[in-house]
Structure formats: structure tokens, C-alpha cells
Amino acid sequence: MSLPSPFAIFVQMKPARIAIVVPVYNREKELDRTFASIVAQTYRPLHVVLVDNGSTDGSLALCRALKARYESDDLAVTVTQESKRGPSAARNKGLSCVKEEFVAFLDSDDTYVPEAMACYLEAFNRHADADVVGCTIRVWPETGHPHVAKAVFSNRVEPHLFHCTLGTVRYAARTALVRAVGGWPEDYMRWEDWELGLRLLLATGRVVWIERPPLVDVYLHADSITGYRYAPNSDDILQAIAHAHADVERSNRSDKRRLHRLLLYKQMVVAGLCHREKSARGPEIYRMTMARAQGDRMLRWFLPLVYRYVSWGGRGSAILAERLLH
């Protein structure tokens, strides 16, 4: 999606309608780069909310210094703190400070391309009934070359269950919608964006996609929010999946049984990944998942195959799962 220059002038004249919430925990070295990408946005006015989450380095002081240096008539900067640990608690605190119609969430070690907010606002203006505007991201690994992450441009729940189409930095949404579905889950530290994305898609199908260019650069490193192994985080992952089952059950969907089956498939994939990491959690999660599938002949046949296939390094079983698990 390209941004016509007359429209760029138009959006700059409108009052602030979008906020960016950034949770910050010990990001003194990376935050300058992240904030610089916000300052470089071609869209104005903007509101950025920096939420320090109990940093033990100089992150909070840096947040305050950035506010003092860059806040202006068309760039509002709110600095606040959240004592409850976890990015979700910090994002919810930031969300409580947002008065704008739209909100986006950026991790404190990632960056926006300069046109990101303008592209979001253009899409919302073109599609007046849109609740969510999604985008692609560019991933920068610690070694190797950057690449554009795989994206599925869909408003359906199923692709999100498999691929997390609405990951943390992949969209902007109506602030009222994020609040209406309950905001970020604070009880676990992994897959929280996946579970929130599910709630958003259960609540609305009005999703618009900016297919190109990528709007966010995501930097992977050892202590990245997005970088982790499965086995050490399996308790949080299982909790997210359990919440997803509850989300589906509370929804008004007519295909609840199908979605529950797909969530069990997702859980078995996690079991296989843990087994591939040579963790005892793999067989444990396998047994838990098979117990949950009791009485479902299709699942009792299909899930062991998924476990073995993923354990051996196989990929791409999601396509088969969506076709089989009706």
C-alpha cells in the first residue's frame, strides 16, 4: 500500500487518533533506536506511551530524558510505570493512558519504518468500518540476513491459531475493541499476543491488511521478548491454550467443536517441539493432550502422527490439520 502525498497532508491536519504503547524492561541500550523510529514517523500528531516495568538499569531515566528532549505540540510522550512484572501488565497500563481512537503496540527493541503510522491511518480512513489493520514485519536475526516474515492475510481465526497472524507488533486496532475484549492477559508471559489476537478475531472479522512494505523491523537476540525455546516456557504456553479454549467457548461461534480440535492440534505441536528439544515435557504434554482428545476418533488417530512428525523436525502440518479437523 502506497501513501498518496495529498493524503499525507490531510492526515497531518487531523487531531491525534493513534497512540503507540511501548513496554520497557532493561532496554537502556535499545530504546534510543526504538524511540528514534517513532520520532521519524511521517504522520503527526502522535502519542507515545512508555511504560517502565521495573527496570534495574537506566531505562526509566532514559524514558524521562526522551520525553524531555522530544515532546512537542505534535508528539505527546507519556512516561508511566507498572510494578507488576510482565509485558502484558505494562501494555495494559499503557492502554489505560490512551485516549486516541486507535492504538498500536511496539516492543522496546524493535522499530517502525517511517511511514508505518501514516499507512495505518490511511487504511483506517479508506476502510471506515475496519477494526484492525495488520501488516508484515521484517526479521533481523543475530546472524544471517534479514527476511520478511511469513504472513497470512486473513480475517479468519484458523490461520491465526496456526501462524499468529495478529502478533504483538503486526497490527493497529481500535482502542475500544482492545479494551472490550479484555486487553492483554497478565497471568502468563508467553503467547499472550496469540491469545489476545484470537479474542480480537472472535470479536470481529473487519480486518484490513497492508501487505507491503513491511512496517516493523523485529530484532531477534537472546533476551528478546519474541525469542525463546518451547520446553522452558511450556507452562505459560499451556495456560495460553487453556485460555483460548475458554475464549472459544464464550464466543458465539457455531464451529466451536472444530476450533477446540484445532487448539488440541496446536497443543500437540507444542508437545512435539518440546520432545525435539529433548525435554520430558514433550511426553507429558502428549499424554495430557491425548487425554483431552478421549472419545474423538479422528483426534486419537491424527494427534500421535502430528507428535511424531513434529518431533522428527517436520513442518507444514497445519494445512493437513485444517482440512481434517472439521
What is the pLDDT at residue 222?
62
Please tell me whether the overall predicted TM-score, pTM, comes out greater than 0.85 for this model. Answer: yes
Distance, in Å, from the CA atom of 196 to the CA atom of 180, rounded to the nearest integer, reads 11
Long-range contacts of residues 12-17, Cβ cutoff 8 Å, at least 24 apart: 12/43, 12/44, 15/45, 16/45, 16/46, 16/47, 16/76, 16/100, 17/100, 17/101, 17/102, 17/121, 17/124
CA distance readout (Å), 104 to 46, 144, 175, 231: 11, 29, 9, 30
Amino acid at 122: E
Distance, in Å, from the CA atom of 188 to the CA atom of 235, rounded to the nearest integer, reads 8
Q: Is the peptide bond before 159 cis (omega within 30 degrees of 0)?
A: no
Distance, in Å, from the CA atom of 19 to the CA atom of 102, rounded to the nearest integer, reads 6
- Divide the 326 residues of the chain into consecutive groups of 10 and give the mean pLDDT of each group: 42 67 96 98 97 97 98 97 96 98 97 98 96 96 88 93 95 98 96 98 98 95 63 96 98 95 96 96 98 94 95 80 69
Contacts of 60 (CB under 8 A, 6+ apart): 24, 52, 79, 81
